[in-house]
Structure 1
Amino acid sequence: MIVELGHFALVLAALVAIVQMTVPLVGASRQWPGWMAVAEPAAIVQFLLVAFSFGALTYAFVTSDFSLRLVILNSHTAKPMLYKVSGVWGNHEGSMLLWVLILALFGACAAVFGGNLRSSLKARVLAVQSAISVAFYGFILLTSNPFTRQGMPVPMNGEDLNPLLQDPGLAFHPPFLYLGYVGLSMAFSFAIAALLEGKVDAAWGRWVRPWTLAAWLFLTIGIGLGSWWAYYELGWGGFWFWDPVENASFMPWLLATALLHSAIVVEKREALKSWTILLAIMAFGFSLIGTFLVRSGVITSVHAFANDPERGVFILMILAVFMGGALTLYAARASAMEAKGVFGMISRESALVTNNILLAVASFVVFVGTIWPLVAEMAFGRKLSVGAPFFDAAFTPFMVALTAILPVGAMLPWKRGNLRRTMQPLWGVLALSIAGGALVWVMQTGGSMLAPVGFVLATWVTLGSLVDLWTRTGRGDLSSKLRRLRSLPGGDWGKSTAHIGLAITVFGVSGLTAWESEDIRVAYVGERFEHAGYEIELREVHDVQGPNYIATTASMAIYRNGKEIAVQHPEKRVYPVAAMPTTEAGIDNGFWRDIYLVIGDRQSDGGWAVRTYVKPFANWIWAGCIVMGLGGILSLSDRRYRIAAGARQRKSNATGVPAE
């Protein structure tokens, strides 16, 4: 009964979405307040209906209702409760229901918290947001219904969830990633609403920033969780493989980062309007491209949904309609987005333009590398593989340039600046960074320049961000400067914190890539072997029965200078229902390094295949992601996001001019 109610609620939500898409849009074009007012309650009702539908599907998974085909294919009675719940979105149909739930959630948030928006703009934003929902309701109900019943007889048990997804990191990775993917729909809706109104101003830049920032924050967390999962779960010891699905989330993140910085210029200087609108359209467009890549079956990935191409065609149609329509409207309204702010070559505006160019081109490079094998196969009949060497060589220079200009660009004044004056407090930082890089190069006794360069850039960005904060405290004694430092807006703290997080990740990536070491051998029980200054002993190997798997578990001791420092238990698991093996690495985490152990197959002579890695600064990669996320939270806490638009509205009302 609950499942049928969930299905009915989903259909009803689609009907409400159609009303929300049409009535407020007509009302905004005719300036009918009553029709525009329909948007807010419709958005809230739509969210409540989809939330009930999603809850009904979750109930079916939790109670192992095998009358539902989706539960049969993705659950099992012996599966732990966490993975019963995550099984709801660990498949195509359930994940699409999560997609529309988040779409409706962002629409409802805009309805509830958008009290400072002009009523016409708010109506158009909610109508466009609902139009996206209508497209995906159609996709779900016509091709991917999660509430399809299983014919008789109903099986006693299910086929289990993909074992690779039965992991805490992957349980939380998709919801965060979808919050970022789908969150960019709000920036898209604001862009289309502004084009329909023919008005892009500083207020629009202020309104669109927190929505973009929230999406960027969730994308950062989601990508970090995915990278962490790949590191410890796949047994390869890597944190990023330039997999097409990884790239599908990385491209919107790059464009969202550019959009965040570009929206600042619109807000502060009313410049880059046309470019900012285009970025908002393209950021969500790349989210749709990622959805197509994951669900069309055109790529093979450990975390792609293998589905029939017909569904991919439907998503491709959604992409064509929304991106084609948006770009057509953009071309038609280009004249309405004339920039007002004029700025010099040496200014913060120019630095942000450079930032945007580097991020946009970097995203395009990733897109070309991701899509080129598909193009080559379809157009030329050739099977090509574009791997890490291409991406590393093509992508890295843009990130080096970006981090190199970051501290200077953040401190340049608006409109017109003086490079010599801006660099005065940064010369010491630059000298210290270069000296530190030279010291690292000497200490590593030759080898790759990657780590020294990474150290220089990370130190430059970190210290430059701290200097930027300190210079904002003005003049005076130390106590007054510290007092003003504490009272700086959340946006200033958030910006510097996010930049420092980027620096930490940059150094983690460069240090790990340059200095990691690997050992592959056949080890025997009781044998001790040496690698990179550590001794590893394989003490025993035994079988373990898990809740829904059988594991071959090793006990491996790690010694340093003859003293035991850790014991790890790497596993090789087999899930009988899915008939699929997985690897669970044993990792001795440390601040400076990880010791990463993997147990393989038993050899004919009684030994075991063992892989040992020493990975310097591995945890700095994800620590940097956490710090970047903290920067996003600090920026979202800035009171200026909540009160500035309202202050403008009150000022307009006080002068007798309508705030609309």
Structure 2
Amino acid sequence: FTLTALSFAALAIAYATSDFSVANVWDNSHSLQPLIYKITGTWGNHEGSMLLWVLILTFFGALVAAFGRNLPAALRANVLAVQGAIGATFFLFILATSNPFARLNPAPIEGRDLNPILQDLGLAIHPPLLYLGYVGFSICFSFSVAALIEGRIDASWARWVRPWTLVAWMFLTGGIAMGSYWAYYELGWGGFWFWDPVENASFMPWLGGTALLHSAIVMEKRSALKIWTLLLAILTFSLSLLGTFLVRSGVLTSVHAFATDPTRGVFILCILTLFIGGSLALFALRASRLTAGGLFHPISREGALVLNNLFLTTATATVLIGTLYPLAVEAVSADKISVGAPFFNLTFGPLMVPLLVVVPFGPLLAWKRGDIFAVAQRLMAAFAAALLAVLVTALFIDGASVFAALGVGLAFWLICGALTDIAVKSGFGTVAPGVMLRRFAGLPRSVFGTALAHLGLGLT
């Protein structure tokens, strides 16, 4: 990590000082650029962004090495070995196809300047956050491969993996949100989401990571869904690698794609085959040796989380099919087609509606066996607020469609459902105010985190 950080710092200094003897600096900078755009230009290109990618990869590996002393020695060694293998492969990719330090002799007097679209503060925030999310899932992947190598997995594995998953998911959420806002005001698409192929490439690991977070909770609390959680961890990072391939291979047309040559695409495809194919082959060979998880009633918090996983993974599959279908058609018939927003709105949307309806029930259901009627009664106020929001939107807002009214209703349902969860667990309306405040202050952080995430989903 230290050597990679020094390498990245050297490239950043070359940008800051306008050292045009470095081809990468000459191609993406100008001496009259503001300093902030000189520095952000370090990763505003393929070569520099790949160096940032491996810097973050080695950073996460260093964190495991430094703070993973509570892990079993064999597991920690295997996790670091897998991280090291991923890092070595991408270092080889950089050296073979994407050297950010290639020199020009004689050095040009002036640079060609950074793409005007990238001369924005969004470049300082969006790519680093996105890469922290993308690469953060590599730790979950390494833990999964290490568990398969050892042939052992239990609830403690989920406790170790869940914080890494949460950190990566939070960074990826921030990166996607910042990118959506940046595209909104910079590209003038008229909206925050366009279902662009590279947008989809970041959205798929986010969906996978969301499913992984929820399944890891079941595994940690009930020792269930062990094999499924392991597979989700592998697939989530695999989708991150797929996103890297889509952005840098040039196989899909996108405003986000880097200018590339075929050699890079072939190299990344080989990396995909090695890590995705290798990990899935290992899973097929070793997963059956792992002990099965615990049982639970369908009407329970575990059941709600399984339903959550079902909808999320199906939604991920629809986005994956819509994103890759043009490639399949072109490979078979040489015809170029595009799959746009209408397809995704018709396939992704209907899967999200039942998921959003179910979300407020999950945190209120008991583990192992829940009472769906008692939970429904607690959510009556949230339902009334959602119904009122639908009626107000439909009757008093000009031009509001039925779908818009239902969307507003679902948003209120999620927001009020999240607030209901905190209110119920604080004893609102059932205990004295002083007791309620003490209960509220003593609630676990996970309760507030869950409510905050569901509130954010409702606001989105």
TM-score band, normalised by shorter chain: over 0.9
Residues in 2 aligned to 1:276 and 1:321: alpha-carbon distance in whole angstroms: 21
Structure 1 residue identity aligned to 2:97: T
Q: Contact 2:426–2:437 at 8 Å: present in 1 too?
A: yes
1:604-615 → structure 2 map (5 Å cutoff)? none
Percent of aligned positions with the same letter in both sequences?
58
1:135-214 → structure 2 map (5 Å cutoff)? 135-150=89-104, 152-214=105-167
Pick from 65, 77, 80 the counterpart of residue 19 of structure 2.
Answer: 65
> What is the Cα deviation at residue 446 of structure 1?
6.2
> What is the Cα deviation at residue 182 of structure 1?
0.4
Q: Higher Cα Rg: structure 1 or 2?
A: 1
Structure 2 residue identity aligned to 1:487: G
1:259-408 → structure 2 map (5 Å cutoff)? 259-408=212-361
Structure 1 residue identity aligned to 2:41: G
Residues in 1 aligned to 2:131 and 2:399: alpha-carbon distance in whole angstroms: 44
What secondary structure does 1:385 align onto? Answer: coil
Pick from 415, 426, 430 the counterpart of residue 473 of structure 1.
Answer: 426
Superposed CA RMSD = 1.2
Residue by residue over 1:297-353, the C-alpha shift from the partner in whole angstroms, topping out at 9 and shown as x without a partner, is 112222210101110110110110111110111111122333331111111111111
Structure 2 residue identity aligned to 1:70: N
Residue in structure 1 matched with residue 28 of structure 2 by the alignment: 74
What secondary structure does 1:484 align onto? Answer: helix
Residue in structure 2 matched with residue 586 of structure 1 by the alignment: none
Residues in 1 aligned to 2:34 and 2:252: alpha-carbon distance in whole angstroms: 30
What secondary structure does 2:172 align onto? Answer: helix
Residues in 1 aligned to 2:343 and 2:129: alpha-carbon distance in whole angstroms: 29
Pick from 438, 443, 448 the counterpart of residue 483 of structure 1.
Answer: 438
Residues in 1 aligned to 2:384 and 2:339: alpha-carbon distance in whole angstroms: 39
Q: After superposing the two structures, state which structure 1 stretch, 442-451 or 155-164, moved more.
A: 442-451
Residue by residue over 1:498-527, the C-alpha shift from the partner in whole angstroms, topping out at 9 and shown as x without a partner, is 10011001xxxxxxxxxxxxxxxxxxxxxx
Residue by residue over 1:391-449, the C-alpha shift from the partner in whole angstroms, topping out at 9 and shown as x without a partner, is 11111111211111000122111111121122221122212311221221111356411
- Structure 1: gaps (5+ residues): 1-46, 506-660
The answer to whether the aligner puts 1:461 opposite 2:414 as a matched pair is yes
Residue in structure 1 matched with residue 88 of structure 2 by the alignment: 134
Q: Contact 1:295–1:311 at 8 Å: present in 2 too?
A: yes
Residue by residue over 1:156-199, the C-alpha shift from the partner in whole angstroms, topping out at 9 and shown as x without a partner, is 01111111111101221101100000001011011111111111
Q: Contact 1:88–1:94 at 8 Å: present in 2 too?
A: yes
What secondary structure does 2:304 align onto? Answer: helix
What secondary structure does 1:87 align onto? Answer: helix
Q: Contact 2:80–2:142 at 8 Å: present in 1 too?
A: yes
Pick from 177, 182, 193 the counterpart of residue 240 of structure 1.
Answer: 193
Q: Contact 2:50–2:94 at 8 Å: present in 1 too?
A: yes
Larger helix fraction of residues? 2
Residue by residue over 1:264-315, the C-alpha shift from the partner in whole angstroms, topping out at 9 and shown as x without a partner, is 0110011111111111011000111110011111122222101011101101
Structure 2 residue identity aligned to 1:320: T
Pick from 367, 381, 385 the counterpart of residue 432 of structure 1.
Answer: 385
Residues in 1 aligned to 2:182 and 2:197: alpha-carbon distance in whole angstroms: 16
1:79-90 → structure 2 map (5 Å cutoff)? 79-90=33-44
Residue in structure 2 matched with residue 252 of structure 1 by the alignment: 205
> What is the Cα deviation at residue 237 of structure 1?
2.5
What secondary structure does 1:497 align onto? Answer: helix
Residue in structure 1 matched with residue 451 of structure 2 by the alignment: 496
> What is the Cα deviation at residue 96 of structure 1?
0.6
Residue by residue over 1:467-523, the C-alpha shift from the partner in whole angstroms, topping out at 9 and shown as x without a partner, is 111222245312111111012111110110110011001xxxxxxxxxxxxxxxxxx
Residue by residue over 1:232-263, the C-alpha shift from the partner in whole angstroms, topping out at 9 and shown as x without a partner, is 11123221111111111000000000000010
How many equivalent residue pairs?
Answer: 458
Residues in 1 aligned to 2:320 and 2:115: alpha-carbon distance in whole angstroms: 28
Residues in 1 aligned to 2:441 and 2:11: alpha-carbon distance in whole angstroms: 47
Residues in 2 aligned to 1:110 and 1:247: alpha-carbon distance in whole angstroms: 29
Structure 2 residue identity aligned to 1:146: P
> What is the Cα deviation at residue 145 of structure 1?
1.0
Q: Contact 1:216–1:257 at 8 Å: present in 2 too?
A: yes
Regions of 4+ moved over 6 Å: none
Q: Contact 1:248–1:289 at 8 Å: present in 2 too?
A: yes
Q: Contact 2:225–2:293 at 8 Å: present in 1 too?
A: no
Residues in 1 aligned to 2:436 and 2:203: alpha-carbon distance in whole angstroms: 39
Pick from 41, 45, 48 the counterpart of residue 2 of structure 2.
Answer: 48
Residue in structure 1 matched with residue 58 of structure 2 by the alignment: 104
The answer to whether the aligner puts 1:125 opposite 2:79 as a matched pair is yes
Q: After superposing the two structures, state which structure 1 stretch, 492-501 or 333-342, moved more.
A: 333-342
What secondary structure does 1:116 align onto? Answer: coil
Q: Contact 1:170–1:225 at 8 Å: present in 2 too?
A: no
Structure 1 residues 340 and 378: alpha-carbon distance in aligned structure 2, compared to 1, 3 A threshold: closer
Residues in 1 aligned to 2:62 and 2:457: alpha-carbon distance in whole angstroms: 32
Residue by residue over 1:346-373, the C-alpha shift from the partner in whole angstroms, topping out at 9 and shown as x without a partner, is 1111111110111111111111111111
Residue in structure 2 matched with residue 14 of structure 1 by the alignment: none
Residues in 2 aligned to 1:307 and 1:184: alpha-carbon distance in whole angstroms: 25
Structure 1 residues 101 and 446: alpha-carbon distance in aligned structure 2, compared to 1, 3 A threshold: closer
Q: Contact 2:299–2:371 at 8 Å: present in 1 too?
A: yes
Q: Contact 1:165–1:171 at 8 Å: present in 2 too?
A: no
Q: Contact 2:224–2:293 at 8 Å: present in 1 too?
A: yes
Residues in 2 aligned to 1:121 and 1:283: alpha-carbon distance in whole angstroms: 20
